[in-house]
Amino acid sequence: MDIDVPSSFDERDWGRPVDGGPVRFAVLGLGWFAPDVAIPAIEESDYCETTVVVSGGREKAERVAEEKGVAHALTYDDYADGEASDAYDAVYVCTPNALHLPHVETAAELGKDVLCEKPLEANGERARKCVEACEAGGVELMTAYRMHTTRSIRWVRDVVQDGAIGDPVHARGAFSYNLIAAGEDMDQWRLNPDLAGGGPLMDLGVYPMNTSRFVLDADPEAVHATTVEGPPEFDGLEKYVAFTMEFPDGQVAECDSGYEVAGDNYFEVGGTHGRIRVDVPFNVDADRTITVSKGGEEQVVEVEEPSEMVEEFDYFATGVLTDMEIEPDGRHGYEDMRIADAIYESGESGGRIEL
């Protein structure tokens, strides 16, 4: 086989000399992910530092600030009022989806660059407003799609784009998690339509959606979808979605995502002359396997790579501190929200929706 899957990925192919920094972050939204994953990654990064934490309640902000050795603890109101704005250069927005917009608008007004968790907002219109606010404020906006900076996925994109499996014909991917079987709280924001903007599609389905766009290096022209409504606790949100994206030149991506189906986590691209599959691409720092099949041979490699969130934060900081263009920028994240809107429209109406 003429493809050699590396078992480790030693280089930041986007790496370049960085002057200045560090980029000092205000971290907004102190659920489990920011304190447990994001703030430690910032600590470990080359070009970033957490100087401010922001939460709904002062007590929580102060507790996290103390635990993590962060200088400033703010409430959302403090943040909106511009308090301690000299103490940070950028914000990392890690709140429920529908709360991204006001925080992004504040950052843009304050001239702070923004790294905003995926999905960019709760729907296309609000995502567009995030983009417009940052463009008006002249600040960077990156949608925190880890897959863009995860080295193994960048390698997959490169070999696919280099034609190593021939012309890419289709992508397939799924990301599902049975949160009911896991006994999760049915009152969480992910099951609140006003805060989440959608069900598993917004939380999990955006991974295979965006990774298809990233690896195929193209944007869909149309989608069609099936959505299956969840139990009453889901308040009208889907519990399952299957969607097909039609790309230019006949490329197709088929994805699904669910909240009441056994865990599922894979991404695959089929070309005219081979296939590349990644198992467990979407969980952060997961045990990941890449399988390449070509010409009747198969290679299965367990890959190792550095902390994905460190990669993501340093990539963002490099975009802020150098002239490197950030690929998953605001417009890129907005495109996914347009696609999600179209998927929901198709699920309702039954038609193919042009984008």
The DSSP annotation for 220-234 comes to -SEEEEEEEE--GGG
Nearer to a copy of itself, 4 or 229 (CB): 229
Question: Shortest Cβ distance from residue 354 to a copy of itself (Å)?
Answer: 8
- 345, 353 contact by CB (below 8 A): yes
Tell how far CA 28 is from the center of its chain. 16
Q: Is the omega angle on the peptide bond into residue 22 within 30 degrees of 0, that is, cis?
A: yes
- 42, 49 contact by CB (below 8 A): yes
- Restricting to residues 76-135, name those near a copy of itself by CB under 8 A: none
Check residue 345 for interaction with a copy of itself (CB under 8 A).
Answer: no
Nearer to a copy of itself, 178 or 283 (CB): 178
Nearer to a copy of itself, 194 or 354 (CB): 354
Question: Shortest Cβ distance from residue 341 to a copy of itself (Å)?
Answer: 17
- Pairing label, strands 222-229, 90-93: unpaired
Question: Shortest Cβ distance from residue 197 to a copy of itself (Å)?
Answer: 21
Nearer to a copy of itself, 97 or 176 (CB): 176
Question: Shortest Cβ distance from residue 294 to a copy of itself (Å)?
Answer: 7
Check residue 178 for interaction with a copy of itself (CB under 8 A).
Answer: yes
The DSSP annotation for 190-255 comes to GG-HHHHSSSHIIIIIHHHHHHHHHHHT---SEEEEEEEE--GGGTT-EEEEEEEEEPGGG-EEEE
Check residue 176 for interaction with a copy of itself (CB under 8 A).
Answer: yes
Burial profile 60-98: b = 16 or more Cβ within 10 angstroms, e = fewer: bbbbbbeebebebbbbbebbbeeebbeebbbbbbbbbbb
Question: Shortest Cβ distance from residue 182 to a copy of itself (Å)?
Answer: 11
- 336, 325 contact by CB (below 8 A): no
Check residue 271 for interaction with a copy of itself (CB under 8 A).
Answer: yes
Which amino acid, residue 230? Answer: G
Q: Which of 126, 70, 69 is nearest to 103 (CA)?
A: 126
Neighbours of 312 (CB within 10 A): 26
Spatial CB neighbours of 172, under 8 Å, sequence gap ≥ 6: 208, 253, 254, 255, 266, 267, 268, 269, 270
Check residue 163 for interaction with a copy of itself (CB under 8 A).
Answer: no
Nearer to a copy of itself, 69 or 296 (CB): 296
Nearer to a copy of itself, 137 or 230 (CB): 230
For residue 158 the two structure tokens come to 């490169």
Check residue 144 for interaction with a copy of itself (CB under 8 A).
Answer: no
Site string for a copy of itself, 220-259 (x = CB under 8 A): --x-xxx-xx----------x-x-x-x---x-x-x-x-x-
Check residue 294 for interaction with a copy of itself (CB under 8 A).
Answer: yes
Question: Shortest Cβ distance from residue 32 to a copy of itself (Å)?
Answer: 20
# residues near a copy of itself by CB under 8 A: 41
Check residue 211 for interaction with a copy of itself (CB under 8 A).
Answer: no
Q: Is the omega angle on the peptide bond into residue 119 within 30 degrees of 0, that is, cis?
A: yes
Question: Shortest Cβ distance from residue 218 to a copy of itself (Å)?
Answer: 14
Question: Shortest Cβ distance from residue 238 to a copy of itself (Å)?
Answer: 10
For residue 307 the two structure tokens come to 């902390």
Check residue 212 for interaction with a copy of itself (CB under 8 A).
Answer: no
Max CA distance (Å), the chain: 62
Q: Which residues bind a copy of itself (CB under 8 A)?
A: 165-166, 169-170, 172, 174, 176, 178, 180-181, 222, 224-226, 228-229, 240, 242, 244, 246, 250, 252, 254, 256, 258, 260-264, 270-275, 293-294, 350-352
